[in-house]
C-alpha cells in the first residue's frame, strides 16, 4: 500500500485525499499543484516489487506495503524534483532515444530513464537521471582528502619540529554507488532480455546543493557529473534480487516482520533515525529514534 497520509509541519497527520480537498490550516504548506504531484509520485500501481523496492531493505519495503503510513511532503520534494528533470527534457528526446519504458521479468519490474544515443555516437547507452546531494556525489565519485607534507616544519608551539601538512583531494577511493549500480545493471538485464544491446551505463547526477559552500568543501565543483557504471555479473545480480524478492514474498504471505535492514540499507542507522517513512512501525527504528533524541 502506498503512503496514505501526509505529515504536516505541526506534527499532525492527515489523509492525503483530505489534504488535497482542503487544508485545515489557514494556509497550505506548499502550492496545491506541488502537493498533487507529491501525492501522484507516491501512487504505486504495480503488481510485483520494483527494482528500487527490492534494493531497499526488505523490512522497509514490507512495512511500506503493510502499514498505513504517513510521509512528510517536504521530504518528498527531491523525488518530485527528479521527476521534473525528466519532464523538462520530454520533447527533446528525438532520434534514437527511448525513454521511461517499464519492463518486467519473473522477479521484478523496472522503468529505465533513457536508452539510445545519449552520450556519444553509439546508440546503445543506458542512462539514468539522479538528483542528489554533494555528500552522496563525493562518495559516489570516490573523492577523499589526504594530508600531504609541505616540506616545512613548525618552528614554534606544541607541534615545534613536526612536519607541516596540507589537505589534498584524491579521486581513487572506492566508489560508493552499489545501489545505483545494482539498479542500472538490473535495467540493463531487463533491456537485454528484451533483445536490446547495452554498450554502457551512465548516470547523470545533478547536485542539488551545488551552490552551497559545503559542496565546494566536498570537492564538488560542477553542478552535474556523468558517472559510468561498471557491469555486475548477471548471475550475481539475479541471485541477489531473486533472494530479496523471495524473502519479501514469504514475509508478506506469512505476515511476519522480516529481519531488520542491513547496515548498508539503513545507512548506518541514519535512515532509521531521520529518513525512514516507516520507522514508527519498526521496533529497531523506534529504538534508534529514541536513542537519537536522548543523545541530542
Please report, as residue ranges, which positions from 144 to 173 form the binding site for ligand SF4 (by CB under 6 A). none
Nearer to ligand SF4, 175 or 266 (CB): 266
Alpha-carbon span 30 to 265, nearest angstrom: 31
Nearest to 272 by CA among 92, 18, 59: 59
Torsion from C-alpha of 78, 83, 1, 269, nearest 10 degrees: -30
For 109-262, strand residue ranges (E) read 109-111, 114-116, 125-132, 144-153, 163-170, 200-207, 224-229
**Applying CB under 6 A, which part among 17-25, 146-154, 165-173, 189-197 lies near ligand SF4?**
17-25
Residue 73 within binding range of ligand SF4, rule CB under 6 A? yes
Q: Give Cα 159 to chain centroid, integer Å.
A: 44
Alpha-carbon span 133 to 4, nearest angstrom: 27
Residue nearest to ligand SF4 (CB): 285
Minimum Å gap between C-beta 257 and ligand SF4 is 9
User: Which x/- pattern, by CB under 6 A, does the window 242-261 give for ligand SF4?
Assistant: ------------------xx
User: Which x/- pattern, by CB under 6 A, does the window 30-59 give for ligand SF4?
Assistant: -----x---------------------x-x
Nearer to ligand SF4, 112 or 281 (CB): 281
How crowded is residue 116: how many other Cβ atoms within 10 Å of its Cβ?
A: 18
Minimum Å gap between C-beta 32 and ligand SF4 is 8
The one among 2, 4, 5, 28 contacting ligand SF4 by CB under 6 A: 28
Minimum Å gap between C-beta 198 and ligand SF4 is 31
Buried b (16+ CB within 10 A) or exposed e, 202-225: bbbbbbbebeeeebeebbbeeeeb
- Contacts for 7 with CB less than 8 Å, ≥ 6 apart: 13, 70, 71, 72, 73
Nearer to ligand SF4, 59 or 218 (CB): 59
Q: Which residues bind ligand SF4 (CB under 6 A)?
A: 6, 8, 14, 19, 23, 25, 28-29, 35, 57, 59-60, 63, 73, 260-261, 266, 271-272, 276, 278-279, 282, 284-285
Amino acid at each position: 500500500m502506498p503512503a496514505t497520509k501526509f505529515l504536516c509541519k505541526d506534527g499532525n497527520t492527515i489523509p492525503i485525499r483530505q489534504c488535497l480537498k482542503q487544508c485545515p490550516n489557514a494556509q497550505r504548506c506548499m502550492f496545491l499543484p506541488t502537493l498533487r504531484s507529491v501525492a501522484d509520485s507516491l501512487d504505486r500501481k504495480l503488481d510485483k516489487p520494483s527494482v528500487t523496492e527490492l534494493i531497499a531493505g526488505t523490512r522497509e519495503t514490507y512495512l511500506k506495503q503493510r502499514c498505513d503510513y504517513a510521509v512528510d511532503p517536504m521530504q518528498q520534494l527531491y523525488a518530485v524534483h527528479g521527476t521534473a528533470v525528466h519532464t523538462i527534457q520530454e520533447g527533446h528526446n528525438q532520434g534514437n532515444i527511448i525513454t521511461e519504458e517499464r519492463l518486467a521479468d519473473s522477479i521484478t519490474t523496472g522503468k529505465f530513464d533513457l536508452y539510445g544515443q545519449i552520450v556519444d555516437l553509439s546508440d546503445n547507452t543506458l542512462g539514468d537521471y539522479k538528483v542528489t546531494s554533494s555528500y552522496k556525489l563525493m562518495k559516489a565519485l570516490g573523492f577523499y582528502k589526504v594530508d600531504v607534507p609541505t616540506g616545512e616544519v613548525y618552528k614554534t608551539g606544541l607541534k615545534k619540529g613536526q612536519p607541516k601538512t596540507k589537505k589534498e583531494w584524491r579521486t581513487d577511493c572506492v566508489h560508493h554507488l552499489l545501489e545505483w549500480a545494482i539498479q542500472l545493471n538490473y535495467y540493463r538485464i531487463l533491456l537485454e532480455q528484451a533483445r536490446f544491446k547495452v554498450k554502457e551505463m551512465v548516470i547523470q547526477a545533478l547536485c542539488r546543493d551545488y551552490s552551497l559552500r559545503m559542496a565546494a568543501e566536498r570537492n564538488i565543483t560542477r553542478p552535474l557529473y556523468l558517472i559510468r557504471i561498471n557491469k555486475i555479473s548477471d548471475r550475481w545480480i539475479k541471485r541477489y534480487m531473486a533472494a530479496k524478492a523471495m524473502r519479501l514474498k514469504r514475509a508478506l504471505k506469512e505476515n511476519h516482520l522480516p529481519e531488520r535492514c542491513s547496515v548498508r540499507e539503513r545507512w548506518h542507522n541514519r535512515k532509521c533515525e531521520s529518513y525512514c517513512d516507516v520507522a514508527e512501525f519498526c521496533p529497531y527504528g523506534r529504538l534508534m529514534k529514541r536513542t537519537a533524541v536522548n543523545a541530542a
